[in-house]
Structure 1
Amino acid sequence: MLLLLVAAIFVVLIVFSMPIVFALGVSAVAGLWIGGYDMQVLSSSLVSGSQSWVLLAIPAFVFAGGLMERCGMSHALVDFARALVGWVKGGLGMSVIVVAYFFSDICGSKMAEVSALGSTLMPPLTKAGYKREDSASLIAAGTAMGMLVPPAIFMIVIAQVTNTSAVALFLAGFVPAAVIMLCLMALVWYRARKYDWPVDTRPDLTLLTTTARRAAIPLVIPIVILGGFIGGVFTATEAGAVVAAYAFVAARFYYRNVSFREMGKLAYESAILTASVVFLLAVASVFQYLMGVSGVPKLLAEVLSPLHSMPWLFLLCTAAITMMFGMVLEGLPAAVVLIPVVFPIAEKMNINPYHFNIVQTAAVGIGLFLPPMGVGLLMALKFANLTVGQHWRTYMPYIAALLFGLLLIILFPDIALFLPRAAGAIN
């Protein structure tokens, strides 16, 4: 009864356009007060929920991603992707998926990625004769896939709330993202032949070499991250500092198109976003306390007990719930409210924690781009000047490809666990 009342307060606050993070905070405090619990729980939960070294990686990665997008690295990646796969039928559509994989690795923020890909790729897609519905679908589906490519902020947060290694989780994301990328590229290949999409470029070794040289600046970053993690050179927090320093040097001494004033603004925006994430983690810990004393974990364990012999079905059900949370509440609130409740159940079922986290990360990425309310999808549709009603029929095959890739990750845990095991990050 208490949780229903707290949920009602939260919904009312959201209806009145209060930001989600503050709506969570107000409803959590109201739950403690209505339930008659000691208000000291509030202060202790706020402190315990926000103290983690790994959270220091968030401002560094956000700053680096914003700086790289501002100095034009996304354009270099787009040109390289078009030279790499543009010579096949529907190559421009495939290049959207490829560059989404590359760019996710340097951006870290889904909204920044949608903005960069939409502004960079929508005009050439339109010029090449792609329908606006397909252009928006390619950008949305590619960005949804990119949630699995480090350094996603969501991965840092989910590592914090499940007390797992962010480094191992970063390593676990590369191969699953590639699997979903291949599923999407297969769909593009099929649709290119069905709708006679054009070839984008001719095979040209000189063009490939030239674009690869320009793209080498941003492509150094995933190599550094992957090599540093596998070699045990730095932690996730230190990786954030390394990437931010690299972005600063590249922007000042190679691109030379970002002023110190603009860098200061990007740093300020990074600090604001980090503060909202940390505050979200803090107030979510109060929710976790309320759910614990209300017996929600025990109730869920009983409800899900028939699935103990079928871990894959448990992962499928929790992924479906997470997608719905991701569509309605965005990614981070879904992580800090839902996942801490179901994670202990997964542990009791002997599901590998990193496999579980990768499945939930993929599910949140898909949820952000699900119609009719996914905030990432709505942003992609703005670039195409489309409504959800005009777009959804064309988008369904792309959602099917994303879900098929997610199903493969669920059914074959080694897709996620191969790389961190090979690196010695997990047993």
Structure 2
Amino acid sequence: MTIIVVICFFLLLFMAVPISLVLGITTILYFFIVGNTALLPSTPMRLYSGLDNFGLLAIPLFMLAGELMNGGGITTRLVKFARVLIGHVRGGLAYVTVIANMFLASILGSANAQAAMMSKVMVPEMEKEGYDREFSSALTLASSIVAPIIPPSMIFIIYGTLSGTSIGGLFMAGIIPGIMYGIGFISLIAFLGYKYNFKKSTRASGKEMMTSFLSVLPALLVPFIIIFGILSGAFTATESAAVASAVAFIVGMIFYKELKWKKIPGILVNTVTSTATVTFLIAMANIFGWMIAFEQIPQAIVTQMTSLSSNPFVFLLLVNILLLLLGAVLDGIAALIILVPVFMPLITAFHIDPIHFGVIICINLTIGLLTPPVGTGLFIVSSIAEVRFERLVRATLPFLVMGIFILFIITYWEGAVMWIPNKLGL
């Protein structure tokens, strides 16, 4: 009976049915196939309970903050500041793309949203400077994977909610890995710049640098307030999202005067639409997880993996391989919601810190944005930058290799991830 449910799941997936509907339909089919229709009346309550969590309130608030910052001209100033700062060195515009993505990661927290926005901004600019369109698109996409690592991070919020792990601790744990990814991609650009003789941009004057710095200061308030507020204990990660939205509104409306009242309805509609998409997926994944628990699949996997090896290093290697493969065919958030209940008993059995494991699993699934056939980031950038999908996949390969290399460093160097949370006692 169970094999029929599995076949239905993958059949719906390959028919390009939205993953949220795949999860819901598969669960309902399971109830009918195994004859557990008595569970159907409890399903609406399960859907609700999947969303009845205070931590999830941070998702719409951070999305609102990102929309307000886009509408208020904050993101464009961050990109401009990065360009003034290092745009004059060889391959400067490529470095700007990485640095700007790191700035924006502290605002958006969504790799897909960041890839879409930066593709519109940076790919045409890099093409004007003589960069290859495929390389520009691949760099923009690869750089966007730091968005779910540097706080705030929507994927960390979901993992923290599902696992009962400190969201503030996850936010702090993502800082050093995010910087490592930035350094890794910058090193790769330096090598490619030397190999292909990238061009230099005009050096900005001291006055232009100072003007740009003063202009971007209000924009930097948002990530500063989020991190400082959590570190100081002034507010929780969820409360910091509300504060960030308020600050983004004030900066865009009063300081930059680009956030007009006529933009507010559109900003709210975008926020509600994005939030509804994510929360609907979480609700459906909750009943899917209910089905998995009913079949005792997590217990079976725990038994199987512990029988393979009792070494946590081997376990983490197997987890990375599994997640990289799953990330190529499943949406990252959906995979996270499905897998966390499965993995939590395992990391307890192997004595792995849940914060460290959260960073590993979130980076793994974010790398899935770069991997065919279902890497959503590839489809987004391919469409916006008007690059053929297969050419973009080929151009992305060096960044994918670098991303996986850094992933394994983070996996086996726990101190790099846990240094800040341990110092803060999170």
User: TM-score scaled to structure 2, two decimals?
Assistant: 0.94
User: Which position in structure 2 is the counterpart of 1:7?
Assistant: 6
Query: Which whole-Å CA distance do the structure 2 matches of 1:201 and 1:414 have between them?
Result: 40
Offset at residue 41 of structure 1 (A): 4.1
Query: Once structures 1 and 2 are overlaid, which stretch shifts more, 321-330 or 169-178?
Result: 321-330
Q: 1:313 to 1:80 in 2, by over 3 A?
A: farther
Query: Which whole-Å CA distance do the structure 2 matches of 1:254 and 1:41 have between them?
Result: 51
Q: Could you tell me which amino acid in structure 2 is paired with residue 46 of structure 1? A: L
Offset at residue 205 of structure 1 (A): 3.1
Query: Which whole-Å CA distance do the structure 1 matches of 2:358 and 2:294 have between them?
Result: 25
Offset at residue 174 of structure 1 (A): 0.9
Offset at residue 141 of structure 1 (A): 0.8
Q: Could you tell me which amino acid in structure 2 is paired with residue 378 of structure 1? A: F
Q: 1:15 to 1:305 in 2, by over 3 A?
A: closer
Query: Once structures 1 and 2 are overlaid, which stretch shifts more, 321-330 or 137-146?
Result: 321-330
Conserved in 1, the CA contact under 8 Å of 2:5 and 2:26?
Answer: yes
Conserved in 1, the CA contact under 8 Å of 2:134 and 2:392?
Answer: yes
User: Which position in structure 2 is the counterpart of 1:124?
Assistant: 125
User: Which position in structure 1 is the counterpart of 2:252?
Assistant: 251
Conserved in 1, the CA contact under 8 Å of 2:74 and 2:216?
Answer: yes
What SS does the corresponding residue of 2:106 show, helix, strand or coil? helix
After TM superposition, the structure 1 = structure 2 runs for residues 197-216 of structure 1, keeping only pairs within 5 Å, are 197-202=198-203, 204-216=205-217
Query: Once structures 1 and 2 are overlaid, which stretch shifts more, 323-332 or 7-16?
Result: 7-16
User: Which position in structure 2 is the counterpart of 1:49?
Assistant: 50
What SS does the corresponding residue of 1:59 show, helix, strand or coil? helix
Q: 1:93 to 1:23 in 2, by over 3 A?
A: same
| Structure 1: stretches of 5+ with no match in the other structure | none
Q: 1:323 to 1:270 in 2, by over 3 A?
A: farther
What SS does the corresponding residue of 2:370 show, helix, strand or coil? coil
Conserved in 2, the CA contact under 8 Å of 1:372 and 1:388?
Answer: no
Offset at residue 73 of structure 1 (A): 1.9
Offset at residue 352 of structure 1 (A): 0.4
Conserved in 2, the CA contact under 8 Å of 1:91 and 1:199?
Answer: yes
Conserved in 1, the CA contact under 8 Å of 2:114 and 2:147?
Answer: no
Q: 1:257 to 1:32 in 2, by over 3 A?
A: same
Query: Which whole-Å CA distance do the structure 1 matches of 2:253 and 2:57 have between them?
Result: 24
Query: Which whole-Å CA distance do the structure 2 matches of 1:20 and 1:392 have between them?
Result: 23
User: Which position in structure 2 is the counterpart of 1:35?
Assistant: 34
Offset at residue 102 of structure 1 (A): 0.7
Offset at residue 204 of structure 1 (A): 3.8
User: Which position in structure 1 is the counterpart of 2:323?
Assistant: 322
After TM superposition, the structure 1 = structure 2 runs for residues 62-101 of structure 1, keeping only pairs within 5 Å, are 62-101=63-102
Query: Which whole-Å CA distance do the structure 1 matches of 2:311 and 2:99 have between them?
Result: 34
Conserved in 2, the CA contact under 8 Å of 1:183 and 1:404?
Answer: no
| Structure 2: stretches of 5+ with no match in the other structure | none
User: Which position in structure 2 is the counterpart of 1:23?
Assistant: 22
Conserved in 2, the CA contact under 8 Å of 1:113 and 1:143?
Answer: yes
Conserved in 1, the CA contact under 8 Å of 2:311 and 2:350?
Answer: no
Residue 347 of structure 1 pairs with residue 348 of structure 2: yes
Residue 237 of structure 1 pairs with residue 245 of structure 2: no
Q: Could you tell me which amino acid in structure 1 is paired with residue 129 of structure 2? A: A
User: Which position in structure 2 is the counterpart of 1:284?
Assistant: 285
Q: Could you tell me which amino acid in structure 1 is paired with residue 134 of structure 2? A: E
Conserved in 2, the CA contact under 8 Å of 1:322 and 1:338?
Answer: no
Offset at residue 9 of structure 1 (A): 2.5
After TM superposition, the structure 1 = structure 2 runs for residues 155-174 of structure 1, keeping only pairs within 5 Å, are 155-174=156-175
Q: Note the alpha carbon deviations across 1:210-266, whole angstroms, 9 max, x for none.
A: 222222222112211111111011011111100111111122222323333421222
User: Which position in structure 1 is the counterpart of 2:188?
Assistant: 187
User: Which position in structure 1 is the counterpart of 2:273?
Assistant: 272
User: Which position in structure 2 is the counterpart of 1:302?
Assistant: 303
Q: Note the alpha carbon deviations across 1:165-195, whole angstroms, 9 max, x for none.
A: 1111111111111011111110000000000
Query: Which whole-Å CA distance do the structure 2 matches of 1:272 and 1:382 have between them?
Result: 21
What SS does the corresponding residue of 2:201 show, helix, strand or coil? coil
User: Which position in structure 1 is the counterpart of 2:411?
Assistant: 410
Query: Which whole-Å CA distance do the structure 1 matches of 2:253 and 2:279 have between them?
Result: 30
Query: Which whole-Å CA distance do the structure 1 matches of 2:219 and 2:345 have between them?
Result: 38
Please give the root-mean-square deviation of Cα atoms over the aligned residues, in Å.
1.9
User: Which position in structure 2 is the counterpart of 1:399?
Assistant: 400
Residue 389 of structure 1 pairs with residue 390 of structure 2: yes
User: Which position in structure 2 is the counterpart of 1:369?
Assistant: 370
User: Which position in structure 2 is the counterpart of 1:359?
Assistant: 360
Q: Could you tell me which amino acid in structure 1 is paired with residue 366 of structure 2? A: G
Query: Once structures 1 and 2 are overlaid, which stretch shifts more, 87-96 or 30-39?
Result: 30-39
Q: Could you tell me which amino acid in structure 1 is paired with residue 153 of structure 2? A: A
Offset at residue 33 of structure 1 (A): 2.5
Conserved in 1, the CA contact under 8 Å of 2:181 and 2:406?
Answer: yes
User: Which position in structure 2 is the counterpart of 1:331?
Assistant: 332
What SS does the corresponding residue of 1:47 show, helix, strand or coil? helix
Offset at residue 398 of structure 1 (A): 0.9
Query: Once structures 1 and 2 are overlaid, which stretch shifts more, 179-188 or 82-91?
Result: 82-91
Q: Could you tell me which amino acid in structure 1 is paired with residue 187 of structure 2? A: A
Seq. identity, %: 29
Q: Could you tell me which amino acid in structure 2 is paired with residue 254 of structure 1? A: F
Offset at residue 32 of structure 1 (A): 2.1
User: Which position in structure 1 is the counterpart of 2:314?
Assistant: 313
Conserved in 2, the CA contact under 8 Å of 1:119 and 1:383?
Answer: yes
User: TM-score scaled to structure 1, two decimals?
Assistant: 0.94
